[in-house]
């Protein structure tokens, strides 16, 4: 029997990856639209509310994702990749976890806490404040979240381009390992 653990991610890992990827990309777009098209699209701060309600769910999902990741090895990278490229992939994934999925939502939480503004997680319950409100820290918190979000936009953009390069230029198994199983694989 084929050992599927070695050639692809577990279905839970796939659900977590694609679910969080969707939430992440929609949150990112909402943040940009809310801020840069404020008069046209966000006059009553409805988009800001949705941005915070959706993005804050990542703070909970990441705990489950990391626990699952620690208990389940990812599939091995293809032999065709050099040791340097394998190391690059490892560092890239570590940055996605540490900055895009942990530091960025934390910086948003920090900003809203400093500004004394509530975060309604998925519209269901309010997150407690991370720190006491402090108008003196408002600008620092705002710029930290804004610049981290732009850095992460580039990081995720690079991640997607590399995944497409593996699929269409290198033609290796990397994207397939993260896609749902096809009938022939089962």
Residues near ligand HEM (CB under 6 A), total: 44
Site string for ligand HEM, 5-44 (x = CB under 6 A): ------------x---x--xx-xx--xx-xx------x--
Residue 135 CA: distances (Å) to CA of 40, 108, 138, 141, 145: 28, 15, 5, 10, 16
- The owner of tokens 């006059």 is 43
Residue 116 C-beta: closest distance to ligand HEM, Å? 12
In angstroms, rounded to a whole number, what is the distance separating the alpha carbons of residues 102 and 169? Answer: 31
Q: How far apart are CA 170 and CA 184, in angstroms?
A: 22
4 or 175: whose CB is closer to ligand HEM? 175
Among 49, 50, 56, 144, interactor with ligand HEM by CB under 6 A: 56
d(CA 40, CA 30): 13
Kindly state whether residue 159 participates in binding ligand HEM, applying the rule CB under 6 A.
Answer: yes
Residue ranges in contact with ligand HEM by CB under 6 A: 17, 21, 24-25, 27-28, 31-32, 34-35, 42, 48, 51-52, 55-56, 58, 69, 74, 77, 89, 93, 96-97, 100-101, 104-105, 108-109, 111-112, 119, 145-146, 149, 156, 159-160, 163, 174-175, 177-178
């Amino acid at each position: 029997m084929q050992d599927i653990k070695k050639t692809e991610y577990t279905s839970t890992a796939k659900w977590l990856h694609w679910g969080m990827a969707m939430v992440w990309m929609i949150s990112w777009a909402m943040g940009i639209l809310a801020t840069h098209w404020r008069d046209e699209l966000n006059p009553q701060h409805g988009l800001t509310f949705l941005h915070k309600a959706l993005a804050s769910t990542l703070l909970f999902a990441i705990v489950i994702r990391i626990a699952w990741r620690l208990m389940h090895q990812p599939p091995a990278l293809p032999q065709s990749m050099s040791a340097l490229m394998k190391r690059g992939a490892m560092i890239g994934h570590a940055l996605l976890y540490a900055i895009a999925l942990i530091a960025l939502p934390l910086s948003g939480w920090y900003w809203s806490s400093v500004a004394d503004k509530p975060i309604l997680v998925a519209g269901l319950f309010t997150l407690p404040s991370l720190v006491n409100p402090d108008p003196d820290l408002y600008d620092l918190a705002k710029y930290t979240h804004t610049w981290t979000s732009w850095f992460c936009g580039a990081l995720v953009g690079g991640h997607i381009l590399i995944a497409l390069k593996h699929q269409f230029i290198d033609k290796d198994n990397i994207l397939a390992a993260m896609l749902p199983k096809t009938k022939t694989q089962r």
